[in-house]
Amino acid sequence: MAVVEVKGLKKHFGNVKAVNGVDLSIQKGELLVILGPSGCGKTTLMRMIAGLERPTAGDILIGDQVVTHLPPRARKIAMVFQSYALYPHMSIFDNIAFPLKARREPKDAIRQKVEWASSILGIQHLLDRKPRQLSGGERQRVALARALVKEPDVMLLDEPLSNLDAKLRASARDELQRFQRQLGITTIFVTHDQIEAMGLGDRIAVMYAGQVRQIGTPQEIYHEPADTFVATFLGSPPMNLFERNDCLVGFRPENFLPPGVLQPEDKVTAFPFHVGRVEYLGSDRLIYGTIEGAAEQNKTISKLPSTITVDIEPDKVYEFVVQAKDLKFFDKNTGKRIEPQPLD
Ligand code: ATP
């Protein structure tokens, strides 16, 4: 059952088409990640779902009810945004209890819910403190607890981990996923970080310039990109792309391999790879070069795990290979994915 549905949603600010025709259907209990570069319309889309922004066109349904023109409080949602403002003069308990007090819930029920949410997030021991006595990660969890006590049907999280350092971010991601699964709350999570998106999402919607370019599982988005934007936005380094026979050919750096690595029976295409530079990164080796015979200026990268130890030297040409299944083809003009083409 779809809990949240977005149909033909648009938001234009004068000439700026911040969101320009988005359709989404989010299933019960699903964690959908909205991934895209800065300015692609992620926050505007979330603000419309939350009821903080009036759409220019289109509809939003939550639990089969059209809520497009309802105020935020009439939608059973909770939000945690990047700047998860806690009230500095209130204790952590009061911060978490705030939405329940605003709803005038009975005192006992409030205490019970605050204790429940803080135990899920492991912050029971902090309830008497003030926000300034907490670390960034702890404050983050308080903001999530404040969202949880509302027992929302849908949780909207807009870059909620972006204020944390890299290590804390990884553990917060882990925690978030655990409690989201445990409680089965339908969640929409916005980020511009592909690692966060791949690690968290049941599905990912990749946005660019106000539109969803592709929606699918992390595996689908990574291995079967719908267009060149998705192909190059995900992956580090991104997919190699070059022009051949009037179309664009793409393959991932980790699928571009030196001779002798694949089994002889694997169906492969070989490319003469002129090696420019080799970079050792510990677990991986990155090899930068160009494919001879392809259009000029085609920079190509091979990413080899340290388990592949074959010697590769700069200024030499090697026959690197790609398995047929790993070659992706795109229309040269539209960038859209097309059927595999002959390469000779
Ligand atoms: P970021 O990751 O940087 O937060 P985003 O993907 O969330 O970016 P939005 O904040 O939704 O992007 O903005 C999308 C576009 O709409 C941007 O070009 C932005 O400048 C524009 N925009 C957003 N809000 C307004 C507004 N109130 N008035 C005019 N333009 C706006």
How far, in Å, from the CA of 55 to the mean position of ligand 1? 14
pLDDT for residue 315 is more than 70: yes
Q: Pairing state of beta strands 2-13 and 57-62?
A: antiparallel
How far, in Å, from the CA of 44 to the mean position of ligand 1? 6
pLDDT for residue 112 is more than 80: yes
Rounded Cα–Cα distance for residues 314 and 257 (Å)? 16
Residue 5: the pLDDT is: 95
The arithmetic mean of pLDDT across residues 215-236, rounded, is 96
Rounded Cα–Cα distance for residues 319 and 335 (Å)? 27
Q: Pairing state of beta strands 328-331 and 247-251?
A: antiparallel
3-state secondary structure the chain: CEEEEEEEEEEEECCEEEEEEEEEEEECCCEEEEECCCCCCHHHHHHHHHCCCCCCEEEEEECCEECCCCCHHHCCEEEECCCCCCCCCCCHHHHHHHHHHHCCCCHHHHHHHHHHHHHHCCCHHHCCCCHHHCCHHHHHHHHHHHHHCCCCCEEEEECCCCCCCHHHHHHHHHHHHHHHHHHCCEEEEEECCHHHHHHHCCEEEEEECCEEEEEECHHHHHHCCCEHHHHHHCCCCCCEEEEECCEEEEECHHHCECCCCCCCCCCEEEEEEEEEEEEECCCEEEEEEEECCCCCCCEEEEEEECCCCCCCCCCCEEEEEEEHHHCEEEECCCCEEECCCCCC
pLDDT for residue 250 is more than 90: yes
The arithmetic mean of pLDDT across residues 29-38, rounded, is 95
The arithmetic mean of pLDDT across residues 241-247, rounded, is 88
Contact 321, 259 (CB under 8 A): yes
Work out the mean pLDDT of the chain and round it to a whole number: 91
Residue 104: the pLDDT is: 92
Least confident of 29-43, 166-180, 300-314: 166-180
Nearest CA to ligand 1 atom 2: 38
Q: Which of 40, 81, 193, 233 to mutate to test the pocket of ligand 1 (most atoms within 8 A of CB)?
A: 40
Residue type at 177? Q
Nearest CA to ligand 1 atom 26: 13
Q: Pairing state of beta strands 299-305 and 284-291?
A: antiparallel
Nearest CA to ligand 1 atom 27: 13
Nearest CA to ligand 1 atom 25: 13
Report the nearest atom of ligand 1 relative to the CA of 11: 16
Q: Which of 34, 44, 192 to mutate to test the pocket of ligand 1 (most atoms within 8 A of CB)?
A: 44
Nearest CA to ligand 1 atom 14: 41
Residue 301: the pLDDT is: 97
Nearest CA to ligand 1 atom 22: 18
Q: Give every CB contact of residue 343 below 8 A, 6+ residues apart in sequence.
A: 244, 245, 249, 269, 327
pLDDT for residue 99 is more than 80: yes
pLDDT for residue 253 is more than 80: yes
Range(s) for CATH 2.40.50.140 in the chain? 241-334
Least confident of 129-133, 270-274, 290-294: 290-294
pLDDT for residue 297 is more than 70: no
How far, in Å, from the CA of 40 to the mean position of ligand 1? 7
CATH number of 4-223: 3.40.50.300
- Binned at pLDDT 50, 70 and 90, residue 79 comes out as confident
How far, in Å, from the CA of 180 to the mean position of ligand 1? 28
Contact 133, 165 (CB under 8 A): no
User: What pLDDT, in 10s, does the model give residues 133-167?
Assistant: 998 888 888 998 898 898 888 999 988 887 777 77
How far, in Å, from the CA of 41 to the mean position of ligand 1? 6
List residues near ligand 1 (CB under 6 A): 13, 16, 18, 36, 38-44, 192
- Binned at pLDDT 50, 70 and 90, residue 2 comes out as low
| Residue of 217, 212, 216, 246 lying closest to 229 (CA atoms) | 212
How far, in Å, from the CA of 16 to the mean position of ligand 1? 9
CATH superfamily to which 241-334 belongs: Nucleic acid-binding proteins (2.40.50.140)
Residue 97: the pLDDT is: 96
Residue 246: the pLDDT is: 86
Report the nearest atom of ligand 1 relative to the CA of 40: 6
Q: Which residue has the higher pLDDT, 66 or 183?
A: 66
pTM: 0.90
Range(s) for CATH 3.40.50.300 in the chain? 4-223
What is the number of alpha carbons within 13 Å of residue 160 lying toward its C-beta? 29
pLDDT for residue 123 is more than 70: yes
Report the nearest atom of ligand 1 relative to the CA of 43: 7
